[in-house]
Structure formats: C-alpha cells, structure tokens
C-alpha cells in the first residue's frame, strides 16, 4: 500500500532522493538538504500519564533526528506541527518545547519554526533537516554479500520499558523507562559510519530484524545475524525477570533486542575487514539470498508494523 501511495509523488528535478530511505535528499540553492518527517499521536505513540511533556518533546525530536543520522548526515534544524485540544494546559506545551530544544541541542540542531492548530487529538508532526557536508548519503540499497553487519546504540530497552508500563511493573527499572521515554540515538555514529565507508544504514525504529529486513530488501541480499554477538544489558535482563515474576513476559531478553521497537540505535553494513570503532558491534554478515536469518534460521519474531496490531505489536504508547 505504501508503494502505491508514494508512487503518486514522482521525483522532480529538485528531489535527488525521494521516498524509500530514512530521509529524502532535496536540492537547495547552495547544495543539498536531507529531510525527514514523522508523526506522534496521543494514545498511539505516547500517553501523558506515562510520559511527561518534556519526555514527549525529547522523543519527538530524537526519532526524527535519528533518521538524519542514519543517512550519514548531521542534523541541522527541526520544524514542528502541533495540533492540540483546546483544554491542553499551556504548561504542558511549554515543557514539551523544552524537551524539543534540549534534544536538538544534543544533536547539534535547532528548532526553526512550525505551526499550531486546534485538534481533538494531540498530534505532533516533526520535520527534521540535515547536512551531508559534501558526503554521499548512505542509503539502504548498498549492502553487498560479504559486508559486515554492525549496530551501535541501545537495543531492546525501549520495548521492555513499554512492556513494564503496560504490566504496571515499571518501578525500579530506570534504564528501560528512560529508553522508552527519551531514546538516545547515537547521532555522531551516522556521519562516522559514512566516513568509514558504510554501504547501507538504517535507524532502528521498528525493531532490529524488521529494519535489517528493509536493508536486505532494498539491497537484494540476505542478512545473517549471530545471536551470540548480541549481549543483553543488565537492565534488560532485570526487566524481563520482573515481567516473568508478574506473569507478563512473552519474550526473552534476546527477543527484545531482535524485535523491540523505538530503540533509535543505528544498524549499518560495512565492507569486509573494515576496522570499526569500539561503539560498533559486529553482529553478522551480508549473504547471497534474501531476508534476515538468526543463527541460520528464519526468525518467528517480526517487529513493529505501522498498520497492524498483534500480541507483540501493541500500541507504542
């Protein structure tokens, strides 16, 4: 369905790279601009009783700025569309703005404008812009057999935090709750990956398996993941133990790392024998074929699907 919709908007002479990657590349008078946009809808992507206004501001900025980094670019600016009920407290909007401002500052960007309208449902639309600084964008379609597959950033904590909130067991798990409320994308790692010769890259927003699948499909290759190279952090292990004791665990720590969404870590492929910095962890290889396997098998887990709900794909709020 997405392909049918985006086909209605063909590329023009001013659009260097249209829909299909983490961000578009748009021609400007003095060069190129990397651009991306996203929506957050109350009840679907956040709940005001689970996240503060400042949390929502951080999250709204982070999930867009991470897409800029995933193209190998440097975030520069943010535009905000804010549709709110008439009874939304002014203080909430003010605190939301602080969260936006602070997350932009962490990424080296700034809020440069936007719009405010009345709406029955609190809805936030963000457009982020970035600068390639003379480099080529790192797309999803460049992975080749033999390439290394590596990740950087947190995996699984955000999804576990959401599970804890749904289960009413959030107390005592700050790592997971912070990851859910205020994801911390590794912004400098995107341009770093580009300098290291990354052949493909993506922001992990829908789960590691799902997003590696996007690279595999775009590149016409398979990706073989080794679970032994994925090491669950202590906070994730403790969260799953709490969920198990409460009868609410449906996944293992590894499952959360493979299929948890909203991590906003980065996954990239690199030419063989690339020497990667410590923050990058090699977790597999690109192979001939298609799809993603884990330890040689097709995984039963999927990840986030924006138009489907399943027992392991509930609302992100």
Is 45 annotated among the ligand-binding residues?
yes
Helix axes 174-181, 53-70, angle to 10 degrees: 70
Query: In whole angstroms, what separates CA 105 from the centre of its chain?
Result: 18
Is 55 annotated among the ligand-binding residues?
no
User: Taking the CB of residue 252, how many other CB atoms lie within 10 A of it?
Assistant: 15
Is 36 annotated among the ligand-binding residues?
yes
What is the torsional sign of CA 3, 265, 140, 32?
Answer: positive
The pair of three-digit structure tokens given for residue 120, joined into one six-digit string: 């029955």
Is 275 annotated among the ligand-binding residues?
no
Show Cβ contacts of residue 134 under 8 Å, excluding neighbours closer than 6 positions. none
Q: Whole-angstrom Cα distance, residue 62 to residue 73? A: 14
The CA radius of gyration of the chain, in Å to the nearest whole number, is 19
Is 206 annotated among the ligand-binding residues?
yes
Is 102 annotated among the ligand-binding residues?
no
Is 140 annotated among the ligand-binding residues?
yes
Is 121 annotated among the ligand-binding residues?
no
Is 231 annotated among the ligand-binding residues?
no
Is 263 annotated among the ligand-binding residues?
no
Is 94 annotated among the ligand-binding residues?
no
Is 76 annotated among the ligand-binding residues?
no
Annotated binding site for substrate: 45, 262, 304
Binding residues for Mg(2+): 22, 36-38, 67, 115, 203, 206
Residue numbers in the known binding site are 22, 36-38, 45, 67, 114-115, 140, 203, 205-206, 262, 304
Annotated binding site for ATP: 114-115, 140, 205
């Amino acid at each position: 369905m997405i392909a049918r919709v985006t086909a209605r908007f063909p590329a023009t002479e001013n659009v260097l790279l249209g829909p299909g990657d983490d961000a578009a590349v748009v021609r400007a008078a003095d060069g190129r601009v990397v651009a991306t946009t996203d929506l957050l809808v109350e009840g679907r992507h956040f709940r005001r009783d689970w996240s503060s206004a400042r949390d929502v501001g951080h999250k709204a900025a982070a999930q867009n700025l991470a897409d800029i980094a995933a193209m190998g670019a440097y975030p520069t600016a943010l535009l905000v569309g804010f549709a709110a009920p008439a009874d939304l407290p002014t203080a909430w909007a003010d605190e939301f703005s602080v969260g936006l401002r602070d997350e932009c500052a962490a990424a080296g960007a700034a809020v440069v404008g936007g719009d405010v309208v009345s709406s029955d449902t609190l809805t936030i639309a963000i457009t982020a812009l970035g600068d390639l600084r003379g480099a080529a964008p790192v797309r999803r379609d460049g992975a080749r057999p033999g390439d290394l597959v590596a990740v950087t950033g947190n995996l699984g904590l955000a999804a576990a935090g959401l599970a804890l909130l749904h289960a009413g067991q959030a107390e005592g798990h700050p790592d997971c709750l912070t990851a859910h409320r205020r994801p911390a994308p590794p912004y400098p790692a995107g341009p770093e990956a580009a300098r290291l010769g990354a052949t493909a890259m993506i922001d992990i927003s829908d789960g590691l398996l799902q997003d590696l699948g996007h690279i595999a499909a775009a590149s016409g290759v398979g990706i073989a993941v080794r679970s032994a190279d994925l090491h669950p952090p202590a906070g994730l292990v403790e969260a799953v133990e709490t969920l198990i004791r409460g009868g609410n665990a449906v996944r293992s720590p590894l499952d959360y790392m493979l299929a948890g969404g909203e991590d906003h870590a980065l996954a990239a492929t690199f030419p063989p024998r690339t020497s990667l910095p410590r923050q990058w962890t090699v977790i597999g290889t690109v192979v001939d074929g298609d799809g993603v396997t884990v330890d040689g098998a097709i995984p039963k887990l999927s990840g986030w699907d924006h138009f489907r709900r399943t027992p392991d794909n509930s609302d992100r709020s």
